[in-house]
Structure 1
Amino acid sequence: MKKFAKMSLVAAVAVAGLSTTSSAKALEEAIKNVDVSGTVVYRYDDRSFDENTKDKDTNNYKIGLTLKSQVNDDVTAVTRFLVAGADGGFASLNHTNGGDANVDVELSNVYFSYTGIANTTVNVGKQGLTTPWTVAIDSDGNEQTGTGILALTNVGPVTLAGAYFNQTNLGTSGDILPGLNSETTVTLTDSNGDTIDLGSTLNDDFGDKNIATLGLMGNIGPVALDAWYLDMQDVFDTYTLGALAKFNISDVKLSIGARHTELDLDDVSADHSLTKVELGAKMGIFGANVGYGWTDSEGGIGGLDNDAKTAFQGWTMNLNGVNDASLLKLNVNAQVLPSLNLALNYNVLDRDDESTKRPDTTDKEYYLQATYQMSKNFGGYIRFGEADLEDQQTNGHDNDGTIGRLQVQYSF
């Protein structure tokens, strides 16, 4: 993070709350202990399928600006501003059917962080939902926020976490709950084969639901372990267990990770679970990664956002929220230059039909990605590939498409 003196005048005004009567001396006093960090991201997505229901041709923008002001020795005031979409994600403009437009500025976070107790941090106010099921801060995706209290404390090698929120944006942000409302038909089949309409079973808001969560994190040798429990009032309760090990064998750097998540909706008998295992290896300039995840036949909700730790997704395909399915992800890459990485990705999403009336379907995608890091704070990537989707709901045949993306990111 850099000192606030390097910020733009607009950001300075936002923090200091200047009026026409503010003096230069007052401004200097207000900003001398303020640090700033953030990201500026531009993304262009282009997808063209045989069946145009999945086409995409958009310019996407997001700016995130986080300001930390040292109030005193024990308290820090934190604010975060977003130039983004309504859910905290990209502001997307489709250039094929609309012109350029301006994007609104939002106050996403405003909370106080207290560190006056040894080895303990307590955040109070409007903040990111820091849980494995949600994404608190993301440079190029939507963010989940809530108003409440979060506490973290270190006890030897173990970190304890606890949080309570009486209001969240989960009714509009994320990839699961916004779809479970009375205006959208979302169904699943329970263990008895009966179809359940989640839209008529669950509340259509969610934002006013209380959330409580507890977490335990620690290390045993090279293995990092975590266990979390979360309850959303009158909606669901869930737990997740995760492990990640990193170690070297001769010149090979290895990583092995696994996570299992269970989620039970309060008024629905179906059980949801998502389990994934990921392996990574790197030797010299070459690397390889393998990931495999699967869901329960009754339900496959693991994360509230598809980018969360408890979820699992490829590029155009996603396992989270898909019951009785599996996703295989394969990646090989080479760091051909200090600033250039080339990668080949191949993903397969297989849906079975043991618990639903849908037919067996298999979706595949394969794409090349070139990642270029011009400097420590500026870089991006280009993707290009093909997706073969078994779109049984249209003409009963494959829905093939060409998929491309350009992304550029500046961090400060």
Structure 2
Amino acid sequence: MKFLKLSLAASVALGAFSTASFAQPLEDAIKGIDVSGYLRYRYNSDYYENKGFAKKDGGDDTNTHRWKAVADFKAPVSDNVAFNFGILYNNESNNVQGVNGGLGSGLGSGKDGSFGVSTFNAVITPDSTATTVIIGKQRLATPVTNAGDDDRGTGILALNSDLEGFTFAAGAFDSWSIDDLALTRGYTTGDNTGGSVAKPLYALAGIYGVDTAYGHFGAQLWGFYIQDAVDALGFGELSWTGSTFNAALQYAIASLDNSDTSILGALHGGPAVGHMKNSNLAEANDLFVINLGADFAQEYNVPLDVKLGWVTNFQDGTAVTLNDDGTAFKYAGAIWWQNDATGISTSALIPGRGVHGFGTEQEVSVFYGAIGYTMVDSRLRIGLDYVWGNNEVTAGNVTLQDTDFQEITPRISWKHNKNLTISGYYAYLMTDAPEGVVYDDETRARARVEVKYSF
């Protein structure tokens, strides 16, 4: 095809001609298109004392303003095909105050953030089967990723529900992005949250649910493979929800690729390590969660909900997710799994955080409880989370870390109307200094205020 350079006059004339021939009124063009999304503002204030167990009052404090806007457009189905398009604005790294005399890593009200396409896909729904096929850029809604944080991949996902009570899923993605993934050498390309991985990710899943006279019983089983990163990753859950009480058992296990050419090797600047290098070995990580809950609103007309649980592991580490904000695990608290002092993280992709079990053995035991009370016509909810945990890391007969910690997090939310919710929490994390550390225990506090308008 030969392309011609047009003069400005010719271009305008051609544009007018084209408009007259093919364009349609805006009202007709957008007819039937569904729009959904949200506008969100978050203010975080983080305070540390004795960060890293080094004697220090404050000095690592940050206050951040964060804005996010998501809009998803869904075209109407035509001949069993629909198209989805999403846009995203996100400035997650925008700081007002930093550690150097108030100089942070971003600007509170200046140039900031990223804007781009978050989803772009076609959805095929044949008449002859209860099957949905999504092709293109889409959010990764799995137990080990967080679609709400815009984890996404480019590829194909097929869902089938022909068998009553069951949903089966299969996905293949040639590139994918995780919200808190840092850019790394050789494996990433730019996107509007910081980095994406150009290695294939494959997923299979089976999900079951049935309503009985004794409540709703559910089960799900997921399997993942990521070239040069995860040899195998599995997640399973058994759940039951009654009119008042509920229970869930969750277990995830991952075999990580520790070779020099793996993604983990790139992330860690060499063979992936916990505290010791042990090249060219696969290592097992796992996490087990027991969650028991109750909601007394329906049966007893008391707007009170509670949950209790225990988190532990049996393998050498706890790196079983791709994003440590993964929404599948039901534990309480806000920051204990995202703080270097506790040494606990479920993410296999965040350098320097958590234990992957290469050359080390980790034993985690975390107990948690949460209570919430709703009032004012179900618009105001107040709650309190409490977490106590221990993390012990050893190498052979040597104890590298034996840390106790506690988190206390009061919460509050106000549902102004069906679209607007205002919420916040104050998380206070106290971590005991490990044996042999001279300085004081570390404390960290985070105050968050969030305003979210959904449409």
TM-score range, shorter chain: 0.7 to 0.9
Distance 1:47 1:206 in 2: 28
Aligned sequence identity (%): 21
> Are 1:324 and 2:368 an aligned pair?
no
Determine which of 68, 76, 83 is the counterpart of 2:89.
83
Letter in 1 for 2:154: T
Distance 1:122 1:385 in 2: 41
Q: 1:144/1:119 Cα in 2 relative to 1: closer, same or farther (>3 Å)?
A: same
Distance 2:438 2:414 in 1: 40
Letter in 1 for 2:63: D
Q: Which residue number corresponds to residue 385 of structure 2? A: 345
Q: 1:360/1:54 Cα in 2 relative to 1: closer, same or farther (>3 Å)?
A: farther
Q: Which residue number corresponds to residue 104 of structure 1? A: 114
Determine which of 368, 371, 376 is the counterpart of 2:413.
371
> Are 1:94 and 2:136 an aligned pair?
no
Q: Which residue number corresponds to residue 440 of structure 2? A: 397
> Are 1:57 and 2:63 an aligned pair?
yes
| Aligned pairs (5 A) from 1:226-375 | 226-236=220-230, 237-248=232-243, 253-267=244-258, 268-283=281-296, 284-311=302-329, 314-318=333-337, 319-321=344-346, 322=354, 323-338=362-377, 339-355=379-395, 357-375=399-417
Distance 2:59 2:157 in 1: 42
SS in 2 for 1:358: strand
Q: CA deviation at 1:261?
A: 0.5
Q: 1:274/1:121 Cα in 2 relative to 1: closer, same or farther (>3 Å)?
A: same
| Aligned pairs (5 A) from 1:120-159 | 120-136=131-147, 138=148, 142-154=149-161, 155-159=163-167
Q: CA deviation at 1:265?
A: 1.1
SS in 2 for 1:70: coil
Letter in 1 for 2:229: V
Return structure 1 stretches of 4+ with deviation > 6 angstroms.
none
Unmatched 5+ stretches in structure 1? 1-18, 184-204
Q: CA deviation at 1:353?
A: 3.2
TM-score (norm 1): 0.79
Verify the 8 A CA contact 1:302 1:310 in the aligned structure 2.
no
User: Highest CA radius of gyration, 1 or 2?
Assistant: 2
SS in 2 for 1:29: helix
Distance 1:53 1:333 in 2: 34
SS in 2 for 1:353: strand
Q: Deviations over 1:287-325 (max 9, x none)?
A: 211122112351111211122145556312114334422
Q: Which residue number corresponds to residue 409 of structure 1? A: 452
Q: Which residue number corresponds to residue 190 of structure 1? A: none
Q: Deviations over 1:158-202 (max 9, x none)?
A: 1110011111124xx346xx49x579xxxxxxxxxxxxxxxxxxx
Distance 1:346 1:213 in 2: 34
Verify the 8 A CA contact 2:332 2:370 in the aligned structure 1.
no
SS in 2 for 1:28: helix
Mean alpha-carbon deviation: is it higher for 208-217 or for 341-350?
A: 341-350
Q: Which residue number corresponds to residue 428 of structure 2? A: 386
Distance 2:238 2:114 in 1: 40
Distance 2:414 2:385 in 1: 17
> Are 1:165 and 2:176 an aligned pair?
no
* Aligned residues: CA RMSD: 2.6
Verify the 8 A CA contact 2:291 2:307 in the aligned structure 1.
yes
Q: Which residue number corresponds to residue 45 of structure 1? A: 44
Q: Which residue number corresponds to residue 213 of structure 1? A: 203
Q: CA deviation at 1:94?
A: 2.6
Q: Which residue number corresponds to residue 66 of structure 1? A: 72
Q: CA deviation at 1:71?
A: 5.0
Letter in 1 for 2:247: I
Distance 1:235 1:401 in 2: 32
Letter in 2 for 1:353: V
Q: CA deviation at 1:359?
A: 2.6
Q: CA deviation at 1:334?
A: 1.1
Distance 1:282 1:22 in 2: 58
Verify the 8 A CA contact 1:298 1:324 in the aligned structure 2.
yes
Q: Name the one with the larger strand percent.
A: 1
Distance 2:196 2:151 in 1: 13
Unmatched 5+ stretches in structure 2? 1-14, 51-57, 187-194, 259-280, 297-301, 338-343, 347-353, 355-361
Q: CA deviation at 1:133?
A: 1.1
Q: Which residue number corresponds to residue 197 of structure 1? A: none
Mean alpha-carbon deviation: is it higher for 383-392 or for 104-113?
A: 383-392
Verify the 8 A CA contact 1:240 1:259 in the aligned structure 2.
yes
Q: 1:401/1:207 Cα in 2 relative to 1: closer, same or farther (>3 Å)?
A: closer
SS in 1 for 2:24: helix
Letter in 2 for 1:373: K
Verify the 8 A CA contact 1:160 1:217 in the aligned structure 2.
yes
Distance 1:182 1:389 in 2: 34
| Aligned pairs (5 A) from 1:169-188 | 169-170=177-178, 173-174=179-180, 178=182
Distance 1:93 1:39 in 2: 22
Verify the 8 A CA contact 1:61 1:91 in the aligned structure 2.
no
TM-score (norm 2): 0.72
Verify the 8 A CA contact 2:335 2:427 in the aligned structure 1.
no
SS in 2 for 1:209: coil
